[in-house]
Structure 1
């Protein structure tokens, strides 16, 4: 088994798609009418598969777009300083990067989408696996 993608409830499909495009995601496709609402499928340029599905239900009240139980998404970046600069140039607020272990090459930062979903940016140290593995807790 593997995770296919994350579905995020959003209040405004176009606003959310524009935010994620500014982060670097590409729109792969759209489903204008599904039982869940309007769907927008996104992926990052280096990903082969869809990673995010923006779900907009025009019939839902504003209160139904938050509190879905999502904690946060995580996006790996190659160079934190370049990524932070690019996001800020696109008008996205980015928290100052910090290192969970005090090193200069393992960095994290945070951004928030227009619907309040938190996104963690991670720069792994050289040689680290692409994702988390059991070795991270050894």
Structure 2
């Protein structure tokens, strides 16, 4: 049996032309609540919405987003069982994986791309992860 490296989908990231209207829609229509915001220069430009359990919708402002057959979903994120083992396995498969880094939301992250160009975020929570502790986070990217 193959070694399991993925625990589950952690979040799906979408671009929104109007992040306030998007948050209101997801709250009103689906009952999602904000968990935390991403800020830059003291301005909110993104946030996490609770999609049930410990899965989320990540929303980032992108006024130029085109809603056609592309650009609706920015990336898919998989929660890993063990980041270091997963990166080693992925690299052993001949796939380039970015170095493990700690994101502004206090999660371990690495990035890969599937054969179709779909960006995949590899993700491991820490006890300090904003998804559990809340509180706005200042983005440095």
Bucket of the pairwise TM-score, normalised by the shorter protein: 0.3 to 0.5
TM-score by length of 1: 0.43
TM-score by length of 2: 0.42
* Higher share in strand: 2
Q: Higher relative contact order at CA 8 Å, sep ≥6: structure 1 or structure 2?
A: 2
